[in-house]
Amino acid sequence: MNTILNISTYKFVPISDPASLRERCLDTAQALELKGTVLIAEEGINLFLAGTAQAVRSFVAFLREDPRFADLQPKESWSDTQPFRKMLVKVKREIIRMNHPTIQPSQGRAPAVDARTAKRWLDQGHDDQGRPVITLDTRNAFEVDYGTFDGALDWRISRFSEFPEAAQAHKAEMENKTVISFCTGGIRCEKAAIYLREMGLPSVYQLEGGILKYFEEVGDAHYQGGCFVFDEREALAPDLSPTTSDAKLSA
Separation of alpha carbons 194 and 202, rounded Å: 10
189 is an active site residue: no
Closest by Cα among 12, 83, 77 to 212: 77
Concatenate the DSSP letters of all residues of 94-122 into one string: -SS--S-TT--GGG-PPPEE-HHHHHHHH
Give the amino acid at 157: I
Write down the H helix ranges in the chain: 18-31, 53-64, 115-124, 141-144, 163-169, 187-198, 210-218
The terminus-to-terminus CA distance of the chain in angstroms comes to 34
Separation of alpha carbons 196 and 38, rounded Å: 28
Sign of the CA dihedral with 157 first, then 160, 162, and 164 last: positive
| Residues involved in catalysis | 183
